[in-house]
Structure 1
Amino acid sequence: MRLGYFAMPLHPLGKTWQTTLAEDRAAVILADRLGFHDAFIGEHLTDAHENVTNSLVFLATLIAETTSIRLGTGTTNLSHMHPALVAANSSMFDHLSDGRFILGVSPGALKSDAEALGILDEDRNRMFGEAIDVITAIWERDAPYDIDLPDNRFKVSTRRTMDPDMGVGSLHKPLQQPRPEIVGTVVAPFSKGVVAMGAKDFHPLSANFLLPQWVATHWPNYVQGKESVGAVADPADWRIARTVFVADTHEEAVAYGRDSEQSPYRFYYRQMLTKMRKLGRVELFKHDRAEPDDAVTLERVLQDMVIVGTPDEVAEQLVAFRDTVGDFGELVYAGLDWVDEGLARRSMELMAEKVMPAVDAVPAAGAPA
């Protein structure tokens, strides 16, 4: 099983922007040194806690600082810019990174971002679908393109201005052919978007803040999408993010990973629970959809969502999780604020060097021994 890294990233108020950006960069550099397969970084324009405004720009600063880790937008919010810009900028990044680019995509969920861009009243999910079709069409076709898909607001052509002798009118292709891997983050139980991912050969990344029973609903939908186009779904293409903290002692793991008021994990899920209550999506944390909202407490969410312990304890919990949701190709480690840099670094080291080898030593349920 591969090991990946994902950060929204989410920081407490009070740290300077320069400090948090440097910390987030250091985490990806460490992940590269430890052999993580890839790193995804999220983006928001107007969130004081999640303060990477453009994941592609952020990741560009890491190309020369890393050697093998694949660098993924986590995600590029496709309602925020014209798809021709996404296609062209992603292609350049793919060349700059020597083919280490992954395009992570989503509609862009933050309403204040949408208001700032003047698209608050737009159907951003529809804009997302339209944009991704245009991006893949640009990569598949040659100039002058003439992309005019039915009911799609984005039209792309250079027919009127193309001049091959002058070298103008063509958008650059990515280094990876036929295109870079495209990954979509899945944040809802029974997501129908996963069906579309399967049909389009995009790969799902199940969010770290979903209960195991909701994560398990994603794979059947991905299989359905693959079957709709006569393809076979490969579990290696499924990424699942989890919130994990590993320490050398059980007591240290529980304190920093869950119980201490200074715990970045407690801070993260306090923020997430507050957001989901305001958005009317607290059911993400419910054991049963019929539960009343007040049954969902911070303490229960922490117990449900944060995997903590020594390397052996964490490996045991991850094997049990895999048995619940089914086999998958990559465990994505959720990166949080470094309240204690030493403990944060040690957790990533133990994850790569102790936990993953122990998980890999246990065959997945249903797999040959």
Structure 2
Amino acid sequence: MRLGYFSMPLHPLGRTWQDTLREDREAVILADQLGFHDAFIGEHLTDRHENITNSLVFLATLIHDTSSIRLGTGTTNLSQQHPVLVAANSAMFDHLSDGRFILGVSPGALASDAEALGLLDEDRPAIFAEAVDVITAIWEGEAPYDIRSPGGRFHVSTARTMDEKLGVGFIGKPLQQPRPEIVGTVVAPFSKGVVAMGSKDFHPLSANFLLPQWVATHWPKYVEGKESVGASADVADWRVARTVFVADTHEQAVEYAKSSSDSPYRFYYQQMLTKMRKLGRLNLFKADQAADDDSITIDTLLDELVIAGTAEEVAEQVVAFHDEVGPFGELVYAGLDWVDPTLARRSMELMATEVMPAVDKATADREVAGAAS
């Protein structure tokens, strides 16, 4: 199983923007040194706690400070940029990074971003769907282009101005052919969007704040999408994010991940709880949809959604989660604010050097036992 990294990121107030950006860079550099397969970085324009406004710009600063980790937007919010810009800038990034680029995409969920851009009353999922088709068509096609999105929102052409001798009218193609990997974050249980991902050969990344029973609904939907176009789904293409903290002692893990008032995990899930309550989406946190909203508390979220303990304890919890949701190709470690840099770094180190080898051994042993029975 691969190990990946994902960060929104989410920082408490009181820290300087420069300081948090430096920390976020250090986390990806450490992930590279530890052998993480990829790193996805989120973006928002109008959230005081989320400090990265353009994930592609941020990731560009990491190209020459990392060596092997793949760099993914997590996500590029497609309702907020013209698809020509996304296609051209992503292609350039792919060349700059020697083909280490992953295009993570979503419509863009933050309402205040949409309002600031004059998009609050627009159908952002529809914009997203049309933009994706345009981006892939640009990468697949040739100038002078005549690309019209299915809903008619976008028309891309350079026919009137193309000059082949001058080299004008061409949009650059990415280094990876036929295109870079495209990944979509999946949040909703029984997501229809993940069906579309399967039909387009995009790869799903299940969000870290979903209960295991909702994560488990994503894979059948992806298989459905693959089968709709006569293709087979490969579990290696499914990424699942989890919120994890690993420490040298059980007591230290519980304190930092759950009980301390300064816990970055408590801060993160308090933010998520408040946002989802405001959006009317507390159902994401309910195993029983009939449960009262007041039953969802910060402590219940921490107990249900944070995997914490020693390396041995975390490996056992990851294996149990794997058994519940089914096989997947990559466990994506959710990066949070480094309230204590020493503990945060140590957690990533233990995750890479002790937890994942133990998880791989346990799952391999079970496969062997299952084949023999």
Length-normalised TM-score, structure 2: 0.98
Give identity over the alignment, percent.
78
Determine the structure 1 residue equivalent to 2:37. Answer: 37
Deviation for aligned residue 1:366: 7.2
1:251 maps onto 2:254 in alignment: no
Amino acid corresponding to residue 86 of structure 1 in structure 2 = V
Determine the structure 2 residue equivalent to 1:179. Answer: 179
Deviation for aligned residue 1:362: 1.2
* 1:1-369 to 2 correspondences below 5 Å: 1-363=1-363, 367-369=367-369
Cα displacement string for residues 181-230 of structure 1 (whole angstroms, at most 9, x for unaligned residues): 00000011111000000000000000000000000000000000000000
Distance in 2 separating the partners of 1:334 and 1:100: 20
Deviation for aligned residue 1:363: 2.3
Distance in 2 separating the partners of 1:87 and 1:70: 18
Distance in 2 separating the partners of 1:150 and 1:20: 41
Distance in 2 separating the partners of 1:144 and 1:365: 55
Distance in 2 separating the partners of 1:368 and 1:154: 52
Distance in 2 separating the partners of 1:262 and 1:368: 43
Paired residues of 1:239 and 1:329 also in contact (CA < 8 A): yes
Amino acid corresponding to residue 28 of structure 1 in structure 2 = V
Deviation for aligned residue 1:148: 1.8
Paired residues of 1:323 and 1:364 also in contact (CA < 8 A): no
Kindly tell me the number of residue pairs found equivalent between the two proteins. Answer: 369
Distance in 1 separating the partners of 2:20 and 2:108: 22
Distance in 1 separating the partners of 2:365 and 2:190: 22
Secondary structure at the counterpart of residue 57 of structure 1: helix
Deviation for aligned residue 1:63: 0.1
Distance in 1 separating the partners of 2:343 and 2:29: 16
- Which sections of structure 1, spanning at least 5 residues, go unmatched? none
Secondary structure at the counterpart of residue 230 of structure 1: coil
Secondary structure at the counterpart of residue 243 of structure 2: strand
Deviation for aligned residue 1:151: 2.1
Deviation for aligned residue 1:51: 1.1
Distance in 1 separating the partners of 2:103 and 2:173: 14
Distance in 1 separating the partners of 2:148 and 2:7: 36
Amino acid corresponding to residue 287 of structure 2 in structure 1 = H
Paired residues of 1:327 and 1:365 also in contact (CA < 8 A): no
Change (3 A) 1:284 1:109: same
Distance in 2 separating the partners of 1:150 and 1:187: 25
Secondary structure at the counterpart of residue 127 of structure 1: helix
Deviation for aligned residue 1:368: 3.7
Paired residues of 2:130 and 2:150 also in contact (CA < 8 A): no
Cα displacement string for residues 323-357 of structure 1 (whole angstroms, at most 9, x for unaligned residues): 00000000000000000000000000000000000
Distance in 1 separating the partners of 2:108 and 2:223: 25
Distance in 2 separating the partners of 1:126 and 1:111: 15
Secondary structure at the counterpart of residue 143 of structure 1: coil
Give RMSD over aligned pairs.
Answer: 0.9
Cα displacement string for residues 76-105 of structure 1 (whole angstroms, at most 9, x for unaligned residues): 000001000000000000000000000000
Distance in 2 separating the partners of 1:155 and 1:365: 53
Change (3 A) 1:26 1:33: same
Paired residues of 1:326 and 1:365 also in contact (CA < 8 A): no
Paired residues of 1:38 and 1:69 also in contact (CA < 8 A): yes
Distance in 1 separating the partners of 2:312 and 2:149: 53
Distance in 2 separating the partners of 1:303 and 1:140: 46
Cα displacement string for residues 241-264 of structure 1 (whole angstroms, at most 9, x for unaligned residues): 000000000000000011100100
Cα displacement string for residues 161-185 of structure 1 (whole angstroms, at most 9, x for unaligned residues): 0000001000000000000000000
Length-normalised TM-score, structure 1: 0.99
Change (3 A) 1:274 1:229: same
Paired residues of 1:323 and 1:365 also in contact (CA < 8 A): no
Amino acid corresponding to residue 150 of structure 1 in structure 2 = P
Paired residues of 2:131 and 2:149 also in contact (CA < 8 A): no
Amino acid corresponding to residue 91 of structure 1 in structure 2 = A
Amino acid corresponding to residue 228 of structure 1 in structure 2 = S
- Which sections of structure 2, spanning at least 5 residues, go unmatched? none
Secondary structure at the counterpart of residue 367 of structure 2: coil
Deviation for aligned residue 1:287: 1.5
Runs of 4+ in 1 over 3 A off after TM superposition: 364-369
